Amino acid sequence: MGADIHHDDDSSSSSTPQEEEAISVCLRLRPPNKLETSRRGRSCISIDEKKIIVDSPLEGEFEFEYDEIFDEGASQASLHNSITMPLTSRLVSGYNVALLAYGQSTSGKTYTLMGEGDYLNLSPPPKPPQKQK
């Protein structure tokens, strides 16, 4: 199972982690906030395929692996098409699904799940399977 790194220019369509595994863990990196931007610090996170590398000046490097990574430029549509739509399709096909957002307070969980504006009209909902007569 390979992870894809997504950003606004990414229009590739490959199988999603949800189609291959019972549980998948995806990561969305948020852009720096105003305070972080005003301090002109450098990011301590780099992306290497399906891993992020955190470089701490005091603690050294740490690597974390994910099924799918969305960088700071990833759009709501990118997350919706890659994660939400496949889960919704499985749900209407009769499977149990769950979508969780986990993170520190004010880290963007609500925005990731809810977005802003017209996010609900990104694509039509999948149709439920039709029973054969």
Is 117 marked within a binding site?
Answer: no
Is 104 marked within a binding site?
Answer: yes
Is 108 marked within a binding site?
Answer: yes
Is 112 marked within a binding site?
Answer: no
Is 110 marked within a binding site?
Answer: yes
* Pairwise CA distance, residues 2 & 20, whole Å: 10
Query: Which of these, 43, 36, 22, lies nearest to 90 by C-alpha position?
Result: 22
* Pairwise CA distance, residues 87 & 16, whole Å: 10
User: What is the CA 44 to chain-centroid distance, rounded?
Assistant: 20
Is 106 marked within a binding site?
Answer: yes
What's phi and psi for 68, nearest 5 deg?
Answer: -155, 140
| Ranges of H-type helices in the chain | 17-20, 34-38, 76-79, 85-92, 109-114
Q: List, as residue ranges, the binding site for ATP.
A: 103-110
> Binding site: which residues?
103-110
